[in-house]
């Protein structure tokens, strides 16, 4: 994908659906007959899309969903798992680094990402959900980090870093060691899901959340996402200094000035992302 010549509004991916509406992008994993599994090609194409979003300020939020009542069943058993058993060590490492690059691209893109989860959300699908900034789910959602179920470590694609920070070390260990499915009510109680909504409302609720974020101060949102990511490796003193610098930068934006003027005039601010 050459994002410099092809605006993402007009981008037509080969391995999933993509649309942009009112400054909100939507990724739809679209292999419903097999619960939307990933292939070598779709991993790479998703990674490239999220990398390209870093230079697309007109897109201010992204929803990720699956077609046909499921989110994503992980790596395709026949198109990925089978071939992996025949690869050399260099080939395997190239693959695992590529899958990790998808998570890196999701965390590095400045837009808030909202995962809309229904039905099966497993393996790499669970990692896409985890790498998102928000997760909405239906009562039928079942998220499983099932790597140990196929003889692999639970430390895939950043799981051992991201999951404990979201739900706590003990709960993360439970899911990563056992590979069991996290049900909807338990997931909401643990804070993995932001909210549970009925299936017919899932996409509408995700789009509404994305739309509200898209109407907000996109530069400030990008800074918030960046600091949430960077501060994992900082001491409290380093974090406070980094936040002081980040906030000072935001105070130079026109959005900050518009917000003050709107407050003074007792009206709702309109943010432009500059």
Q: Let me know whether 129 and 243 are in one domain.
A: no
Q: What is the mean pLDDT of residues 65-93?
A: 91
DSSP string, 173-236: HHHHHH--EE-HHHHHHHTSSSEE--HHHHHHHHHHHHHHHHTS-HHHHHHHHHHHHHGGGS-H
The boundaries of the domain holding residue 117 are: 8-214
Global pTM reads 0.91
**List of long-range contacts for 133-136, beta carbons under 8 Å, 24+ apart:** 133/225, 134/194, 134/209, 135/192, 135/193, 135/194, 136/193, 136/194, 136/195, 136/196, 136/197, 136/202, 136/205, 136/206, 136/209
Return the structure tokens found at 169.
């070390």
Domain membership flag for residue 270: no
- Could you tell me the pLDDT band of residue 76, with boundaries at 50, 70 and 90? confident
Domain membership flag for residue 142: yes
- Number of domains comprising the chain: 2
Classify the phi-psi angles of 140: left when phi > 0, otherwise alpha if psi is within -120 to 50, otherwise beta. alpha
Domain membership flag for residue 76: yes
Q: Report the pLDDT value the prediction gives residue 13, as an integer from 0 to 100.
A: 92
Q: Let me know whether 36 and 172 are in one domain.
A: yes
Q: Report the pLDDT value the prediction gives residue 126, as an integer from 0 to 100.
A: 97
Domain membership flag for residue 69: yes
Return the structure tokens found at 56.
């697309």
Residue 9 in this model has a pLDDT that exceeds 90: no
Q: Let me know whether 14 and 130 are in one domain.
A: yes
- Could you tell me the pLDDT band of residue 79, with boundaries at 50, 70 and 90? confident
Q: Which of these, 176, 177, 272, lies nearest to 215 by C-alpha position?
A: 272
Q: Count of alpha carbons within 13 Å of 73, Cβ hemisphere only? A: 19
The predicted-structure confidence for 184-230, as pLDDT tens digits, reads as follows 999 999 999 999 999 999 999 999 999 999 999 999 999 999 999 99
Q: Let me know whether 225 and 171 are in one domain.
A: no
Q: Report the pLDDT value the prediction gives residue 6, as an integer from 0 to 100.
A: 47
Q: Let me know whether 95 and 192 are in one domain.
A: yes
Q: Let me know whether 128 and 227 are in one domain.
A: no
Q: What is the mean pLDDT of residues 76-103?
A: 90
CATH of the domain at 74: 3.90.226.10
Residue 2 in this model has a pLDDT that exceeds 70: no
Last residue of a domain, one of 199, 214, 229: 214
């Amino acid at each position: 994908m050459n994002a410099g010549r092809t605006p993402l509004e007009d981008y037509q991916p080969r391995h999933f659906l993509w649309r942009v509406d009112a400054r909100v992008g939507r990724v739809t994993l679209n292999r419903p007959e097999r619960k939307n599994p990933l292939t070598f090609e779709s991993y790479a194409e998703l990674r490239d899309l999220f990398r390209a979003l870093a230079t697309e300020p007109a897109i201010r939020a992204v929803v990720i969903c699956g077609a046909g009542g499921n989110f994503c069943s992980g790596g395709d058993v026949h198109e990925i798992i089978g071939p992996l058993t025949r690869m050399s060590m260099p080939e395997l490492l190239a693959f695992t680094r590529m899958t990790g690059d998808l998570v890196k691209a999701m965390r590095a893109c400045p837009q808030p990402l909202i995962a809309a989860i229904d039905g099966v959300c497993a393996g790499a699908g669970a990692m896409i959900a985890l790498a998102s900034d928000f997760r909405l789910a239906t009562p039928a959602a079942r998220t499983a980090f099932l790597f140990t179920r196929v003889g692999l470590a639970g430390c895939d694609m950043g799981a051992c870093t991201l999951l404990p920070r979201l739900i706590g070390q003990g709960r993360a260990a439970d899911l990563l060691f056992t590979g069991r499915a996290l049900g909807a009510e338990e997931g909401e109680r643990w804070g993995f899901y932001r909210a549970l909504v009925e299936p017919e409302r899932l996409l509408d609720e995700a789009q509404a959340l994305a739309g509200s974020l898209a109407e907000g101060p996109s530069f400030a949102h990008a800074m918030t996402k960046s600091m949430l990511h960077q501060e994992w490796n900082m001491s409290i003193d380093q974090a406070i200094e980094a936040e002081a610098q980040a906030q000072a930068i935001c105070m130079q934006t026109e959005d900050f000035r518009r917000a003050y003027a709107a407050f003074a005039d007792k009206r709702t601010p309109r943010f432009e992302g500059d």
